[in-house]
Homo-oligomer: A and B are copies of this chain.
């Protein structure tokens, strides 16, 4: 968390969920559990490195959980936690806004 002396709620949300990818990742995982490479395919523009880093952040913040299956080859599934699920209204609103934005002009 960089700057949040102001204690502003909007700033708090941006500090935790800002950036190009976090909301997008959650918007997929909130619909269904997904594997690592499945997410890569869903987000064609993110690098493997960034996806890993963003997933770790989201996990540390408690929004998603990571389940490892000790198979060969390894299988890892990501899904939203209860806290992640609480972001659904926000995600929905962001989606609505995006649809509207694309419809302008």
Give the B-binding residues of A (Cβ under 8 A): 3, 5-20, 23-24, 27, 43-45, 62, 83, 86-87, 89-91, 93-102, 104
Contacts and interface: CB of A to CB of B under 8 A. Distances in A.
Given A20-B18, A94-B90, A97-B90, A102 B44 contact: no
Nearest to A21: B14
Nearest 3 interchain pairs by C-beta: A9-B98, A12-B98, A13-B98
Contact of A10 (B15, B16, B95, B100): B95
A101 B13 contact: yes
Nearest to A102: B12
Nearest to A86: B100
A88 to B, nearest CB: 10
